[in-house]
Chain A
Amino acid sequence: MTRPRTTRRRSRALVAAVVVAGLGLTGVACSGGSGGSSGAGAAPADASSPLDPKAKVTITIDCMPPATKKPELKEWNEDVAAFHKLYPNVTVEGKSTTGQCEDPATFAAQLKGGTEPDVFYSYFTDLPQVLDAGQAADITPYVTQRTVPTLGDIAPDVLDVEKDSGRLYGLPASDYTMGILINRKLFKEAGLDPDRPPATWGQVRADAKAIAALGHGIAGYGDYSAGNNGGWHFTAEMDGLGASVVNAAGTKATFDDAQGQQILDTLHAMRWDDDSMGQTQLLKWGDLQKQMVAGKLGMFVAAPDDITYMVETLGGHYEDYGMGPMPGGKGTLLGGDAYLFKKSDTPDQIKAGIAWLDFKFLKEGQGQFDYARTKADGLPVGLPQPEFYTGATKATDDRLKAASATMPVANFAAFTAHPLPGHAEPPNAQEIYKVLDNAMSGVLTDRSANVDKLLSTAASQVDEVLANSQ
């Protein structure tokens, strides 16, 4: 049958149009997976008992240090060998990752495709995403005082982050709380006391002004305003003032208030009135660290492991940096990383995974807490991170850490002496941060920014985000 010429032409045009235009779609679609529920079996009756030594188990686990990190890889291999002596029936297959242990885009694609390792690394904020993807195994019955002896001394707010509706899905490997990171050299040059970092936003502003007065393109204070990092910092800064960006139910924005106004007003004043924040803005994670190592930045809000990055990767020196608590001193943002278990794991794999995590990350004086070995391998000891232990375990950990410290831990005294209550990140964190980025970039790039309007616009947009997610 021959179709009419016009129909053929139209069809050809349509096909050509769709094919040509569709070229731009493959990026998103390539990552699509079924997302279907993977059927994990129910926990066995003996879930809380340790792993059967006769059961042959293999587990894959990510965040094994890459070959370029020789000391870290050496420690990993030593720990795997020591673990294998204890559990000869368990084979631990490490998956190496370069750079950060989690790349959010890769992580999201892995979850969608169900290709994550049996025991996989995640940030504290990832649990809702992993649950939504149907990829998290419930490990509640497996985690007891028998399988994780230090369980009772892990800070409840840290453990809570890995819980949903009372069920436990992961175990922490590290945690951090945020504070203000200072450049001690610039503090001294500006005539400020580096042992007394600013504790309020008023002091931050005054100190930033004094440091910027040194000239040579030095900024007193820096902050993020791009890549959703601006929203993340605004949230931490609200925590510092004892406020929150959303209400307790997670249904309404609460930052359009006096505290939100105070933060944005102060940043605006520092940027435009005092000229103490430098001219380069739209900064995201990594930018401020480089400025500080180059001796061009006095302070910024950060987590302790930013110092590790600045020293190990950028060539800074531990003695040049110090930390104080979040300005405001009423709270701080709690973050960290944990290991979750793939939904399709067998009970033996879950037990083996818990045994490995307990061995590597959750025993004082062992694994990541073997400070003497860390020091001998030339790695840093003394940062106030991780800090998830309480009680007797914390006391032991503090003592061991101090005994092997490789940096002047007194530089962090202001931070460690005033531990603040940590608050987890809000629900739909990244979407909220995206909106708040606009408020941050608004005050830092627009001299005539209307703070009231920026806050009210952002609040209504966050309300919409939260309503959409219900």
Chain B
Amino acid sequence: MPALVVPGGQDSRTGTRTTGPPPRPDGPSRKAALERSVRRNLTAHGFLVGAVLCFGFFSWYPMVREVILAFQRTHRGRTTWAGWHNLQQIVHDPAFWQAWRNTVEYTGLALLLGFVVPFLVAVLLNEFRHGRSYLRVLVYLPVMLPPVASVLLFKYFYDPGYGLFDHILRTLHLPTSQWLQSTGTALLSVVIASTWMNMGSATLIYLAALQGIPGELYEAAELDGAGLLRRIWHVTVPQTRLILSLMLLMQIIATMQVFTEPFLLTGGAGPQGSTTTVVYLMYQYAFNFDNYGAAAALGLVLLVVLALFSAVYVRLSRDGRDQD
């Protein structure tokens, strides 16, 4: 029996959407259709109202206020428009460039460790035939710990006096490190702690994506004589490209907003400001210096930078769909 195909509707057999616009109803019947549609979806709209209000009050309104604040200045209780003053002020703050340098460096290191390591762990887990569930729980365990507890745990590990890491190094007669207390290693130490804390979620997502790859592809690759690395490169990576690019974007957005880890591990700034990040600087402006205008201006700069990354992602994923 031929499949029933309606323009702009769904192919009843394959479930895929067909091309071409649906027929447009004219005047009164269009209104009636709209009314029917509203009645039919009334409950759904009712549920939506709460979500829209929540987003409106707690996400969208603060974002609009933030943009307004970035161009305002309050002095002696009088709030006035400040033009570019706040932006000029933050750009002239020596900590601004240091915070950006640190944030970019942190993001780079976090991608190197936090993106690659979970993927490799997922590939490894996927190869195991036995004990996979047990190992999955083990990998996810750090995510279940409260973040503050995990960070404080690492603070103890890193202590150069009584910390675990230096104790192990001393036992092995290897040179010890100052970890968080050296400008050279502070940021990397923060990245290591952060990767350990967060890699569980990423690993599970990658694992789910890997398990969705048809086994026939690997079998075909094996028949063609492909080894493990070539199978990963030619089958695994292309098949998980979309999830990889999504995770990459999410990781960039998350790591560029890093705050908790350096705040708890090094007090925020670290040795000679080496772990000062953009969001920590925003926190300082707002809550230590009471300069909301500068904090909002810095937030706006961060918004623009993150928006660029997001735009690149949207473009890449669209190109990917077009190619598919």
Task: Flag whether B307 is at the interface (Cβ < 8 A).
Answer: yes
Chain B nearest CB from A261 CB (Å) reads 18
Name the residue in A20, A38, A108 with the highest tally of chain B Cβ atoms < 10 Å from its Cβ: A20
Task: Report Cα–Cα, A361/B272, bound state, in Å.
Answer: 41
Residue of A nearest to B291 (CB): A431
A32 contacts which of B66, B309, B318 (Cβ < 8 Å)? Answer: B66
Contacts A464-B93, A465-B93 known; list 19 others, CB within 8 Å: A13-B314, A16-B310, A17-B311, A21-B304, A22-B59, A24-B302, A25-B62, A26-B58, A29-B62, A29-B69, A31-B292, A35-B77, A226-B269, A227-B268, A434-B284, A441-B270, A441-B272, A468-B89, A468-B92
Which positions 135-193 of chain B face chain A at CB distance < 8 Å? 159-162, 178, 180-183
Is there contact, CB below 8 Å, between B269 and A441? yes
Q: Decide if B178 touches A24 in the complex (CB within 8 Å).
A: no
User: Which range holds the interface residue count of chain B?
Assistant: 35 or more
Give Cα distance in the complex from A468 to B284, angstroms: 16
Q: Is A34 an interface residue (CB 8 A)?
A: yes
Q: Which residue of A lies closest to B180 (CB)?
A: A282
Interface residues on A, range: 35 or more
- The reply to whether A13 and B269 contact each other, CB–CB distance below 8 Å, is no
CB-CB under 8 A from A66, the residues of chain B are none
Task: Judge whether B269 and A134 touch: CB under 8 Å.
Answer: no
Are A134 and B253 within 8 A (Cβ)? no
The 8 Å CB contact of A445, one of B59, B72, B178, B305, is B178
Is the beta-carbon distance between A134 and B93 smaller than 8 angstroms? no
Asked if B108 lies at the interface with its beta carbon under 8 angstroms from chain A, I say no
Within 8 A of B (CB), among A83-118: 104-105, 108-109, 111-112
A9 touching B66, Cβ below 8 Å: no
Residue in A26, A34, A437, A468 whose CB lies within 8 Å of B63? A26
A-B contacts at CB below 8 angstroms, number: 198
- In the assembled complex, the Cα of A227 lies from the Cα of B58 at a distance in Å of 29
The 9 residue pairs across chains A and B that have the minimum distance between CB atoms: A134-B77, A226-B267, A29-B66, A21-B306, A17-B310, A29-B62, A105-B287, A37-B77, A279-B161
Q: Within B38-82, which residues are at the interface with A (CB < 8 Å)?
A: 58-59, 62-63, 65-66, 68-69, 72, 74-79
- Residues of B near A200 (CB, < 8 A) are none
Give the residues in chain B near A400, CB-CB below 8 Å.
none
Give every chain B residue within 8 A of A131 (Cβ-Cβ). 76-77
User: What secondary structure prevails in chain B residues at the interface with A?
Assistant: helix
| Residue pair B290, A31 in contact (C-beta under 8 Å) | no
Expressed in whole angstroms, the Cα–Cα distance for A454 and B159 within the complex equals 25
B200 CB within 8 Å of chain A: no
A228/B77 in contact, CB under 8 A:
no
B94 within 8 A of A: yes
B289 at the interface (CB under 8 A from A): yes
Whether a CB of chain A sits under 8 angstroms from the CB of B236 is no
Per the bound structure, the CA–CA distance linking A445 and B183 in Å amounts to: 8
- In the complex, the chain B residue whose C-beta lies closest to that of A226 is B267
For residue B294, give the distance in angstroms from its CB to the closest CB of chain A. Answer: 9
> How far is it, in angstroms, between the C-alpha of A442 and the C-alpha of B272 when the chains are bound?
5
Q: CA of A225 to CA of B268 in the docked complex: distance in angstroms?
A: 11
Q: What string of 1s and 0s marks CB contacts (under 8 Å) between A404-434 and chain B? A: 0000000000000000000000001011001
Tell me which of B69, B161, B253 contacts A21 (CB under 8 A): B253
Complex contact B160–A132 (CB within 8 A): no
**B315 on interface, CB distance cutoff 8 Å:** yes
Q: Determine how close the nearest CB of chain B comes to the CB of A446; give it in whole angstroms.
A: 7
Q: How far is the CA of A86 from the CA of B160 in the complex (A)?
A: 60
Question: Given A20-B310, A35-B74, A134-B77, A279 and B299 touching (CB < 8 A)?
Answer: no
Partner of A13, one of B290, B299, B311: B311
Chain B residues near A280 (CB-CB < 8 A) = 159-161, 181
Secondary structure type dominating chain A contacts: helix
* Interface status of A18 (Cβ within 8 A of chain B): yes
Mind listing 19 A-B residue pairs with CB under 8 Å? A13-B311, A14-B311, A18-B307, A21-B310, A24-B253, A24-B299, A27-B279, A29-B66, A30-B58, A31-B286, A32-B296, A35-B72, A37-B77, A133-B74, A133-B290, A225-B271, A226-B268, A437-B273, A446-B182
Least CB distance, A379 to chain B, in whole angstroms: 31
- Give which listed residue, A32, A111, A217, A227, contacts B162 with CB less than 8 A: A217
Tell me, in angstroms, the Cα distance from A176 to B215 when the chains sit together.
Answer: 73
B267 touches A26 (CB 8 A): no
Least distance between A31 CB and chain B CB atoms (Å): 6
- Give, as a whole number of angstroms, the nearest-CB distance from A254 to chain B: 19
- Contact of A284 with B by CB under 8 A: yes
A23 part of interface (Cβ distance < 8 Å): yes
Cα-based distance from A27 to B308 in the complex (angstroms): 21
Per the bound structure, the CA–CA distance linking A18 and B310 in Å amounts to: 8
- Chain B residues whose C-beta falls within 8 Å of the C-beta of A442 in the assembled complex: 271-272
Contact B271 A26 (CB under 8 A): no
The reply to whether B303 and A22 form a contact with Cβ atoms under 8 Å apart is yes
- Interface status of B295 (Cβ within 8 A of chain A): yes
B251-273 interface code vs A (CB 8 A; 1 in, 0 out): 00100110000000011111111
With A28-B296, A280-B159, A434-B95 in contact, do A129 and B290 touch (Cβ < 8 Å)? yes
Kindly list chain B residues whose C-beta atoms are within 8 Å of the C-beta of A132: 74-77, 290
For A134, list chain B residues within 8 Å (CB): 74, 76-78
Given A35-B77, A464-B93, also A25-B303 (CB < 8 A): yes
Q: How far is the CA of A347 from the CA of B181 in the complex (A)?
A: 54
A28 and B295 in contact, given A134-B78, A282-B271 (Cβ under 8 angstroms): yes
Rounded to whole Å, the gap between the CB of A130 and the closest CB of chain B is: 9
State in angstroms the CA–CA spacing of A29 and B300 once bound together.
10
B62 in complex: contacting residue of A17, A26, A228, A464, CB < 8 Å: A26
